[in-house]
């Protein structure tokens, strides 16, 4: 999940936290909603979050929670100058058999995530 951007167009909401930590009406940040939705599909057992701007807000949130799968964090030190391309490259540097890239600052309805996971699972099964 890409969560390194500063969210400059959303100031002052992002003065103290990254876009992915903006809170939904249910009190959960976007990042937490998406991670929980991914794990609830059963198709995902590991999520890597690429951080940058105000990384500590994300680390604090993730450190205080338990999830249904493994969550790891990669810091992109070039988030301010290289944008999402460097974050994607950072994610690909991690060993993994499969990868899907999601924006951590985008709201995905749970049903949409479940449908994406179903398509992904079906596609994987057909390729083996």
Digit-coded pLDDT (tens) for 34-58:
999 999 888 888 898 989 899 999 9
Round to the nearest angstrom and report the end-to-end CA distance of the chain. Answer: 26
Strands 2-3 vs 46-51: parallel, antiparallel or unpaired: parallel
Q: How far apart are CA 114 and CA 100, in angstroms?
A: 14
3-state secondary structure the chain: CEECCCCHHHCCCCCCCCHHHCECCCCCEHHHHHHHHHHHCCCCCEEEEEECCCHHHHHHHHHCCCCCCEEEEEECCCHHHHHHHHHHHHHHCCCCCCCCCCECCCCCCHHHHHHHHHHHHHHHHHHC
Q: Which CATH number fits domain 2-85+97-127: 3.90.550.10, 3.40.190.10, 3.30.930.10, 3.40.1190.10?
A: 3.90.550.10
Residues 3-12: tens digit of each pLDDT: 888 888 889 9
Q: What is the pLDDT of residue 12?
A: 92
**pLDDT-derived band at 99, boundaries 50, 70, 90:** confident
pTM: 0.81
Contact 36, 84 (CB under 8 A): no
């Amino acid at each position: 999940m890409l969560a390194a951007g500063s969210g400059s167009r959303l100031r002052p909401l992002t003065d103290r936290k990254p876009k992915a930590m903006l809170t939904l009406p249910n009190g959960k940040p976007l990042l937490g909603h998406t991670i929980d939705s991914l794990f609830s599909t059963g198709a995902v057992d590991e999520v890597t979050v690429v951080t940058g701007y105000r990384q500590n807000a994300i680390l604090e949130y993730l450190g205080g929670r338990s999830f249904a799968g493994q969550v790891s964090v990669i810091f992109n030190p070039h988030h301010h100058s290289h944008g999402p391309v460097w974050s994607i490259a950072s994610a690909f540097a991690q060993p993994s058999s499969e990868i899907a890239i999601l924006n951590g600052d985008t709201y995905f309805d749970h049903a949409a995530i479940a449908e994406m996971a179903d398509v992904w699972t079906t596609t994987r099964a057909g390729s083996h």
